Amino acid sequence: MDKQTIGIIGAGKLGTTLARLGTQRGFTINIGSRHSVQDLKWVIDTMAPGAVTMSTPDVIKHSDIIILAIPLSHYRDLDPAALAGKIVLDATNYWKEVDGTVNTISSMKESSSEVIQAYLQDSLVAKAFNHMGYHDIEIEVDRHPEVRRAMAYATDHDEIRPVVEAVLTQFGFDPLDLGPLRFGLYLEPGSPLFGEAIPRAEFVDKINRIYSTPFGAKILSERGQQVV
């Protein structure tokens, strides 16, 4: 499969890291943020040489796949109409330093990517790039070229799985399909899988044991058998 053009919305820790990794791996990367193109361009030219700085609407227009690397609480700034029909990889997480001490956005009953999918109802949302810290995204990919790290993803759209897997593979990861989007709960902060940059077998083993952890118990009590 040819490499798709990736558009990144958000140019903070994660956005600039993915832009750098993506360009290094031969992707065409477009990136935009809430800053003007003029203010952002020299930053991107330095942090992720080769990535193209654009306005956010232009990033959406000129890219095949969009990665959301913005604070979760900013999701309502996105334009659902502009993103209609696009594959959207949602890398956001609820994080209290940026999103507020009380999480009013997502819950065990509706995980953050389910909230994003409900808002971007005509987009093809997959949760991806969530569970690995922005620093480990580079460190763990670079230092284990022979044993790829698992990057788990979840989506309700079976037709996009091959594309998502190709992108994750080309970024240097071992894509791991969790199934429907609600299983993205496994990847959220608080989960034993959050923060993990480990090979597939270890990751799968942790998934298999998730319901014997306090986090798993919380999923069961909030969501019953839905996610199991």
Which residues bind to another protein, rule: CB under 8 A? 11-13, 16, 20, 42-43, 46-48, 96-101, 133-135, 138-139, 142-143, 189-190, 194-198
Nearer to another protein, 179 or 199 (CB): 199
Q: How far is the CB of 75 from another protein (least distance, A)?
A: 16
Half-sphere exposure at residue 214, Cβ-oriented, CA atoms within 13 angstroms: 1
Q: How far is the CB of 33 from another protein (least distance, A)?
A: 10
Nearer to another protein, 37 or 43 (CB): 43
Q: How far is the CB of 196 from another protein (least distance, A)?
A: 5
In whole angstroms, give the CA distance from residue 218 to residue 203: 20
Question: Please, which residues have CB within 8 angstroms of residue 108's CB and are 6 or more apart in sequence?
Answer: 185, 218, 219, 222, 223
Tell me the C-alpha to C-alpha distance, in Å, between residue 63 and each of 24, 32, 90, 172, 186. 18, 11, 15, 20, 29
Nearer to another protein, 133 or 180 (CB): 133
φ, ψ (nearest 5 deg) of residue 9: -105, 115
In whole angstroms, give the CA distance from residue 191 to residue 207: 10
Question: Please, which residues have CB within 8 angstroms of residue 103's CB and are 6 or more apart in sequence?
Answer: 94, 96
Nearer to another protein, 128 or 137 (CB): 137
Nearer to another protein, 144 or 157 (CB): 144
Q: How far is the CB of 81 from another protein (least distance, A)?
A: 29
Q: How far is the CB of 161 from another protein (least distance, A)?
A: 26
